[in-house]
Amino acid sequence: MLDALEPAVEALEKAASEDKSIKEAFEKAAEAAEDGLERTKDMEAKKGRAKAFGSRTVGEQDPGATVVYRFLREVSEELNKS
């Protein structure tokens, strides 16, 4: 989860410091979370339930990072509807 959440929080903080709208801030957060999610595909799980699968997790995206990305993407899309 943190692989997607950390860059998303950083993107939100940056957007806030630049006085971006909430819509823009969440769009940037979702983009950053997606980048973090993509990076998990090259990682071997070291924590959580996936740890038991070891090197077999390389090439698979982290489920927790996927949840964070999807949540932020949905928030962004909902904000952009209004």
Per-residue pLDDT tens digits for 24-61: 999 999 999 999 999 999 988 887 777 788 888 898 89
Kindly tell me if the per-residue pLDDT of 79 is higher than 90.
yes
Number of domains composing the chain: 1
Rounded Cα–Cα distance for residues 32 and 45 (Å) = 20
In sequence order, what are the residues at sequence separation of 6 or more whose Cβ sits closer than 8 angstroms to the Cβ of residue 50?
57, 62, 63
pLDDT at 57: 84
Could you give the 3-state DSSP secondary structure of residue 42? coil
Q: How far apart are the first and last CA of the chain?
A: 28
* Residues of the domain holding 39: 2-81
